[in-house]
A and B are shown apart, each in its own frame.
Chain A
């Protein structure tokens, strides 16, 4: 079955740098991938959706890429700030069009 894999280790970066998070899937290319931010004890907040036929999508300091050859999506935060510290979740739609989530990657931006 399809699996979504994210780096379970926390990513620590310095304020002002670009954070890059990785989401890999194992089998078929999903029609789209979604990225969410989740703060402790809170529900996920939708950030970006990228479709299979889109190479890149941007929103303010956020950028998402989708490489169907590598079976990978990258999530970038440019000019990172301590307020960007959170867990970031990648999700894809499965065959039944239900969202399946990766384990999430915790990002820590240090001032």
Chain B
């Protein structure tokens, strides 16, 4: 398995501000993902952040709104920019170990936008 930590675990933010979420993994992984889980919903993939390449965004998500950094094989950040109440969700970091299919998730960051 992989041990994944996220910071912050939760935050309450004002409309129009930005929040950067950090994700740290206990081992080097190539494939890292960011998901969003809105209240009462299942997980939706925001983007794939593989080290050494630009993040790939899913339909409905754009880099200007959710910029991602992946400076090395154990760390990534997701920024939620110009927030609105609709951005209130749990944001989850996830990794897949090289040569394995199993995918593991961090504890999530619970974001509330007022």
Contact = CB atoms under 8 A, between A and B. Distances in A.
A60 B92 CA distance: 27
Given A102-B42, A103-B42, A104-B42, A93 B110 contact: no
Contact of B103 (A34, A42, A103, A104): A34
B102 A41 contact: no
Interface in A6-54: 31-32, 34, 36, 41-46, 49
B105 A43 contact: yes
Interface of B is mostly: strand
5 contacts: A42-B108, A91-B103, A99-B103, A101-B42, A104-B42
Interface of A: 31-32, 34, 36, 41-46, 49, 89, 91, 93, 98-104
Contacts of B92: 43-44
Nearest to A44: B105
Contacts of A89: 42-43
A33 B109 CA distance: 26
Contacts of A45: 105
Q: Report the interface size class on chain B.
A: 20 to 34
Contacts of A49: 101-102
Contacts of A44: 43, 92, 105
Interface string B51-92: 000000000000000000000000000000000000000101
Nearest to A49: B102
Nearest to B9: A41
A46 B107 contact: no
A87 to B, nearest CB: 9
Contacts of B102: 34, 46, 49
B101 A98 contact: no
A32 B101 contact: yes
Contact of B90 (A41, A101, A102): A41
B107 A43 contact: yes
Contact of A46 (B45, B104, B110): B104
